[in-house]
Amino acid sequence: MAEWLIAPVLKTGIVLNKELSRLHEPFKSIHGATIENTSFKDGDGASTFRGFNPTQAEETYSMVTANRFWSQIFRVAFSNKRWLHFFMLFVPVTGLWMSALGVVGLAHEPRAYDFVSREIIRWKITNLRLSTPKIFS
């Protein structure tokens, strides 16, 4: 718990990066499955990769089917493809920025400006001296 109080930004970044590394493979698989399972195929020998043209006007995969797929797994549905891809990009970028800001924050010695706890410690020491009975004096 003390680490969270000393460097909350760094700890948040570390947690997000751990979760990202743990969830990286499933996200890759889910993205691939979303594209493969919801793609529009024309003909018998059609493939998503051979049939895709970057300049085509129509969609390559169905967002409705992709939303159904995501909502079954994560209980979340996205209104359009931009929100879906924003979500998939937001978690890793946030984790990296939080880690970087946390390291920079720790480089500037966060306890150097901890006046409140120093005053509490000083107060405890002086009160301990005053309240201790003097047996041998």
The pTM score is 0.41
Q: Which of 1, 12, 14, 2 is nearest to 114 (CA)?
A: 2
Phi-psi region of 43 (alpha: psi -120 to 50; beta: other; left: phi over 0): left
Q: Which two tokens stand for residue 134?
A: 């003097």
| Chain segment 93-117, per-residue pLDDT in tens | 887 788 788 777 777 766 666 666 7
pLDDT tens string 25-55: 555 655 666 665 555 555 555 555 555 566 6
Domain ranges in the chain are 9-109
User: 11 and 102 in contact (C-beta within 8 Å)?
Assistant: yes
Measuring CA to CA, which residue among 56, 62, 69, 55 is closest to residue 41?
A: 62
Contact 94, 12 (CB under 8 A): no
